Amino acid sequence: MVTSNEPKSTRSESTLKRSAAGSKWKSRSARKPTRSPDWSSGADAREQARGSIRSEMCDWHFRLRASSPTVPSRRLLRGLAWGLMDRFSTRTFILLALILLAASCAILALSEDLWAFVVSQLLQGAARAYFFTGAQTRVVRSARPAVSALALMNVTNGIGLLVGPILAGFIGASSLTITLFIAASIAAAAIPACAFLVRYEPFTRPPSEPGVVSVAVWRRSGVLSAAWMSVAAGSWRGIMNSYLPLLLSEAGHSVPVGGAMTTLANLAALAGSILARGARRAGVRLASVLGTVLALGGIAAMALLLPNLVLAGAFLFISGVGSGILQTLGPALAAEAVGREERGRSIASIGTFRAFSLLVTPMSIMALIFVLPSAAVATAIVAIAVGIPGMAMRTRAPRGMND
């Protein structure tokens, strides 16, 4: 009989370890597939893979849209701005937007809690709605022709879209908190500049003539055409913001490629704003159809050609040019299609259409992912479907529209 010199407690511990190791090995072996490969089930495997991809993409999109209330708040407040144009000056809108933007960045810099993120996004959505409504309405009231004034504003905005992310990337590499504080400081520093803006009086409603039925601003021919331009441009931006990173990832491209493609798209939109004046000279109808075809046809082709990065980049640039043309000509057409006292409501109304498309377009793509094989196909279908009504609509230049 062999006896061990180990203490009883030590023997018990070693026995337990060996038993646990054996159980782990058995459980791993049990998880291994024991059946031989079934080559006839390739179609089933592909269908399961597609279902898994759709599930992942929908889950990603639900989390992204649910965690970012910026677009719904922008849509709601664009609609509110429509009615506030008769009560407050455009300078007040710009001032309020800067205050809200500074507050949104400061809150997120001070706290990483979920409530801070939600509040920050709501404030940022409100700031965007008030700023673009106030700024676009202001520039079309100046002496400069509407198309030229809006082109200058969009070019300035495009430069900010290019420079801002680059600076944020460099500064954020050391501290995201510092980056947010700097962004809040820039917005706060712009607040005193509002004091030097010429104060335009709020718009006054034109008197209604007896026996004449007044047509709502957004239903008038020129404003409705401008609204569809804004819908097309908003759909392009919605696809860019919500699905371009996902499409690039699905095609197997890296994160730096996504950054480069986003920069390329912003450069193209900047070029489109510069070319908008020349496109306007070709005629409003032609410019509208051309911008819609380039923006949404280009983004559809880009989505389908993403495996070939060169072709995808070329079509993305083309689509950005079209979007730049639309987002410049749309507000100009809306401003010139009504009288001077109704320009604020016309700009706010097409802004509401744009905000709506920013929300609905990504959600429509998400719904199609359940039944289509890939996000690229769903993106192309939605882009084309949005563009068809805009191209079919009759667009006429309003009388006296400035070139």
Domain segments of the chain as ranges? 69-200+218-392
Helix axes 90-110, 114-140, angle to 10 degrees: 160
State which amino acid sits at residue 393.
Answer: M
- What length does the chain have? 403
- pLDDT value for 394: 56
DSSP 297: I
CA dihedral in degrees (233, 314, 380, 231; nearest 10)? 0
Q: Is the pLDDT assigned to residue 43 strictly greater than 50? A: no
- pLDDT value for 393: 64
CATH number of this structure's domain 69-200+218-392: 1.20.1250.20
> By percentage, how much of the chain surpasses pLDDT 70?
70
- pLDDT tens by residue, 327-344: 888 888 888 888 777 777
- pLDDT tens by residue, 258-312: 878 888 998 999 899 888 888 878 887 888 899 999 999 999 999 999 999 999 9
- Token match 């054996």: residue? 22
pLDDT band at 203; cut points 50, 70, 90? low
pLDDT band at 395; cut points 50, 70, 90? low
* Least confident stretch, 86-95, 105-114, 183-192, 317-326: 86-95
Q: Which two tokens stand for residue 346?
A: 């016309």
pLDDT band at 104; cut points 50, 70, 90? very high
- pLDDT value for 213: 52
- pLDDT value for 100: 92
Q: How far is residue 273's CA from residue 368's CA, in Å, rounded to a whole number?
A: 32
Pairwise pLDDT comparison (60 vs 171), residue with the higher score: 171
Pairwise pLDDT comparison (231 vs 284), residue with the higher score: 231
Q: Are 118 and 101 in contact (CB under 8 A)?
A: no
Which ranges in 307-372 belong to alpha helices (H)?
Answer: 309-336, 343-369
The residue-averaged pLDDT of 180-205 equals: 82
- Token match 């995201």: residue? 176
Q: How far is residue 215's CA from residue 217's CA, in Å, rounded to a whole number?
A: 6
Contacts of residue 133, Cβ cutoff 8 Å, sequence gap at least 6? 78, 81, 85, 93, 347, 348, 351
- pLDDT value for 351: 81
Q: How far is residue 263's CA from residue 316's CA, in Å, rounded to a whole number?
A: 11
The residue-averaged pLDDT of 173-184 equals: 88
pLDDT band at 91; cut points 50, 70, 90? confident
Q: Is the pLDDT assigned to residue 60 strictly greater than 60? A: no
Q: What is the per-residue burial (b if ≥16 Cβ within 10 Å, else e) of 314-341?
A: bbbbbbbbbbbbbbbbbbbbbbbbbeee
- pLDDT value for 67: 39
Q: How far is residue 152's CA from residue 158's CA, in Å, rounded to a whole number?
A: 10
pTM, 2 dp: 0.67
- pLDDT value for 210: 58
